[in-house]
Amino acid sequence: MRILVTGADGFIGRALVARLLSSGVLPGLGDARRQVILLDRQFSVNAADARVRPVAGDIADPVVLREAFRDPVDCVFHLASIPGGAAETQFELGLRMNLDVTLRILEQLRTQTSAGLPPPKVVFASTIGVYGVPLPEVIDENTIPAPTLSYGAHKLIGEVLITDYSRRGYIDGRTLRLPGIVARPPQAAGMLSAFMSDLIRSLSAGRNFACPVAREGMAWWMSRACVVENLLHAAGLEAATLDRSRVWLLPVLHASLGDIVAAIARVHGEEVLDRVTYHENAALQAQFANLPPLRCPGSLEAGFRNDGTLETLVQRALDGP
């Protein structure tokens, strides 16, 4: 089993790679005898594991991409992208990284399949940003996407491409629409939703925090450990399940900023409540803290899960590499 992870040195990528290398049998990915190809601009740690082949460079560079696909791959976790804030201010860069790269990866895989190899699995990280703003009172599995940021538009186009290449038998794709994943590192530049992670990280460490959205603002929450579990679960979905859909919502925790602060206080002490103030930024409030309930019974039936409780979310949010 040869697995390629794009964005392998990113926040989610590092945790996914660690899990791929530490686990034994994984549904759909076989036993631990697997090679993991890491593709990212650079790597913060030395990949010394013999099962790892790092490829460092600009993923938009065709030479770098060809090196990543030097040998045929069985599965791709496509996590790499330019996030919302950066894609909005740097339009050409967003197009190149979020659209051109996705298409080039799919074309590399089509070449494999056209040579007679089985269609490789592709797990594509999309976003809740495909729904845009304003949002309906409830989002479910039939809600029509209408992105209002370039990032959401890029990801929606990627979803369509993944589904179409799967229909034609070039790949075996599955897409997850990811919510705000916490707690991202402080240097998560370009992430408009970074305040969600900053709140958990700062208050858990005993620091004060000025929250840029209202206490009552409702958001969708999931820890990095939980999203990794869901990515791996997606890779293992059986064909019969994929006949229903190749695009999946995740059953996130739906909670207010105040609810999260209260959970942090239950984990780290009541003094947390005195360390937070709220200063509403209308744009952030509309995009990330005015989110309705998300209902996805199909995803739950297919085995996708959330963190269970807010306390578990808070504790898991700071775990991992």
The domains found in the chain, sorted by start residue, are 2-179+222-249 (3.40.50.720), 182-220+252-293+308-317 (3.90.25.10)
Q: Tell me, what's the pLDDT at 31?
A: 85
Residue 175: both structure tokens together = 């897409």
Rounded Cα distance, 306 and 102, in Å: 27
Average model confidence (pLDDT) for the chain?
A: 93
Q: Tell me, what's the pLDDT at 33?
A: 83
Q: Tell me, what's the pLDDT at 265?
A: 97
Distances, alpha carbon 196 to alpha carbons 186, 214, 285, in Å: 11, 12, 12
Q: Side chain identity at 14, as an amino acid letter?
A: R
pLDDT in tens, 253-263: 999 999 999 99
Rounded Cα distance, 319 and 15, in Å: 9
Could you give the residue numbers annotated as active site? Answer: 151
Rounded Cα distance, 240 and 303, in Å: 13
Q: Tell me, what's the pLDDT at 187?
A: 61
CA 306, 124, 163, 191 torsion-angle sign: positive
Q: Tell me, what's the pLDDT at 191?
A: 67
Torsion from C-alpha of 120, 103, 300, 133, nearest 10 degrees: 180
Q: Tell me, what's the pLDDT at 85?
A: 81
pLDDT in tens, 181-233: 998 887 655 567 889 999 999 999 999 999 999 999 999 999 999 999 999 99
Q: Tell me, what's the pLDDT at 46?
A: 61
Which single residue is written with the structure tokens 């450990």? 225
Residues of the chain with pLDDT below 50 are: none
